A and B are shown apart, each in its own frame.
Chain A
Amino acid sequence: MHCNFDWESMPKGFIRPLIRRTALVASLHLCFFGAGLMGIKPATADPVTVFAAASLKAALDDVVLDFERTADHQILVSYAGSSALARQIEQGAPANLFISANVNWMDRLGAQGLLEPDTGLALLTNTLVLIAPTDEAAPPVGIEDFDIISQLKGRPLAMAFADAVPAGIYGKSALRHVGVWDAVAPHVAQTDSVRGALALVARGEARFGIVYATDAQADPRVSIVATFPSDSHAPIVYPVAVIAPASRGALDFAAFLRSPEAHDTFEAHGFGSAAP
């Protein structure tokens, strides 16, 4: 029997429709995205592009609404992990303002001369808490009195990457401070972001999680079982800075972020003020 199966044409055969499909999906996305950008409202001045740490989303969205009510600048916010945003800014991303969840990344941008001088300052603070699924949570106690190990019962403790993501670094330091890190470490399930850890606890898969107080407040399926003292880890500070060269809108919005009105909104979402 002779067979003329042309195997070489086969991979092309399935890759081509794939490419076509991807292109279609991409162009559809562009259409929607473009319509979204243009359709919101006619901006009278250049829009301000803000790069902000993902943990700020709920609070900053509210602050932006307040700002846009009075100012004639349109604010576009891109939320992601501080590290991803900082790397994009290094590569020339068109950001006008950066709010980082971590001082190191802001310092790195400053060292490269990418920030407008004298616009950087510590804006917000946050608190680190131990959470459990609400249906398994005991009333909050001091972390020193809390026996994590005996309560894990084979289930993991979820936290962001302990050596990489800020929330994880603070968490590891806090567990060290209480003296349980070495015992807990084998049970730690690391996630790519603090919100990933929150989701694992909210689903009841993880017995405990370490997140920011603002994250715990955002999800009713989890409850705070202990709060880590502020001296158990490096200060949790969200610095803000205007990217050079500064635009009028970026400076206006940076000033608004420090106003009492914005401060009240941030506080309602669980953030603390870093202003002296």
Chain B
Amino acid sequence: MMLLDFSATEWQAISLSIKVSLVATLFSLPFGILAAYALARWDFYGKHLLNGLVHLPLVLPPVVTGYLLLVVFGTRGPIGGFLQDWGLVFAFRWTGAALAAAIMAFPLMVRAIRLSIEAVDPKLEHAASTLGASNTWIFITITLPLTLPGILAGTVLAFAKALGEFGATITFVSSIPGQTQTVPSAIYALLQVPGQENAALRLVLVSVVLAMGALLLSEVLARRASKRMNGA
């Protein structure tokens, strides 16, 4: 199994990629659900602005997003400098890689969740409200369970996107082995040297397996969720 005989650096990149993507996905999920709910159900001043902001990373070149992150969240940036005083540093840390991955994956997450919230029949929520349930209780017991397949799909899509993030990450936090050198950035480095294609190919295979695994997992979870709901 020469193919799976990874070097220490390669393992480091693989485990870092998984860590970064997991943290990015889990931390952005509450915000993703909130943004999706706001866009699907609320009418407020500046809704189009919020919609545009959420989708911006999808349409901007990743390098531009990375540069904006560097300007805003760098140690000399307005938010980065403020957070540094509280002990939260993004610049050149794996936390910065997670932030970049989360921002890049956010639009995909919100789109999936928003569409499944819009698909929930408002009459169900209205019925619960006539029976005396509070808005929070309705959200927890009606809207959220019905939206679960969409939330799962959005979460896994965001995870897969976070795994593959390169442009914004390299621009924002560069590539430091063990801190910010993720699988895509290791692949990029290998492709710069003539004759390193085979080493790159192994990491490419790892990326494909991880992404496919995540998608299959979401399929299984979503099937289970829908079965449970339909059987209830």
Binding site for B on A (CB under 8 A): 1-7, 10-11, 13-14, 18, 25, 81, 83, 87, 104-105, 108, 156, 158, 161, 163-165, 188-192, 196-197, 199-200, 203-205
Contacts and interface: CB of A to CB of B under 8 A. Distances in A.
Interface of B: 59, 67, 70-71, 74-76, 91-92, 111-112, 114-116, 119-120, 124, 146, 149-150, 153, 170-171, 173-176, 180-181, 185, 188-194, 222, 225-226, 229-230, 232
Contacts of A2: 230, 232
In the A-B complex, list the 5 residue pairs whose CB atoms are closest, starting with the nearest.
Answer: A164-B192, A7-B149, A189-B174, A164-B189, A190-B175
Contact of B91 (A6, A13, A164, A205): A205
Contacts of B74: 203-205
Contacts of B114: 14
B174 A196 contact: yes
B226 A5 contact: yes
A201 to B, nearest CB: 11
B111 A3 contact: no
A171 to B, nearest CB: 14
Contacts of B149: 5, 7, 10
A89 to B, nearest CB: 13
Contacts of A104: 194
Contact of A204 (B76, B111, B232): B76
B78 to A, nearest CB: 13
Contacts of A158: 174
Contacts of A192: 170-171, 175, 185, 188
Given A2-B230, A3-B229, A199 B171 contact: yes
Given A5-B229, A7-B226, A25 B59 contact: yes
A87 B188 CA distance: 13
Contacts of A81: 192
A10 B116 contact: yes
A187 to B, nearest CB: 9
A6 B153 CA distance: 13
A13 B115 contact: yes
Nearest to B107: A18
A156 B75 contact: no
B84 to A, nearest CB: 12
Given A3-B146, A189-B175, A190-B175, A10 B59 contact: no
B111 A18 contact: yes
Contacts of B192: 81, 83, 161, 164-165
Contacts of B120: 5
Contact of B194 (A6, A11, A108): A108
A205 B175 contact: no
A57 B225 CA distance: 54
Contact of B174 (A5, A83, A163, A191): A191
Contacts of A14: 111-112, 114-115
A108 B195 CA distance: 10
Contact of A7 (B150, B175, B180): B150
9 contacts: A3-B232, A7-B116, A13-B115, A25-B59, A83-B194, A188-B176, A189-B92, A205-B70, A205-B74
Contact of A203 (B70, B180, B181): B70
A165 B196 CA distance: 13
A258 B181 CA distance: 41
Contacts of B191: 83, 87, 164
Contact of A205 (B92, B181, B185, B193): B92
B115 A5 contact: no
A5 B170 CA distance: 41
A11 B153 CA distance: 8
Contacts of B170: 191-192, 196
A3 B230 contact: yes
A105 B174 CA distance: 24
Nearest to A189: B174
A204 B182 CA distance: 24
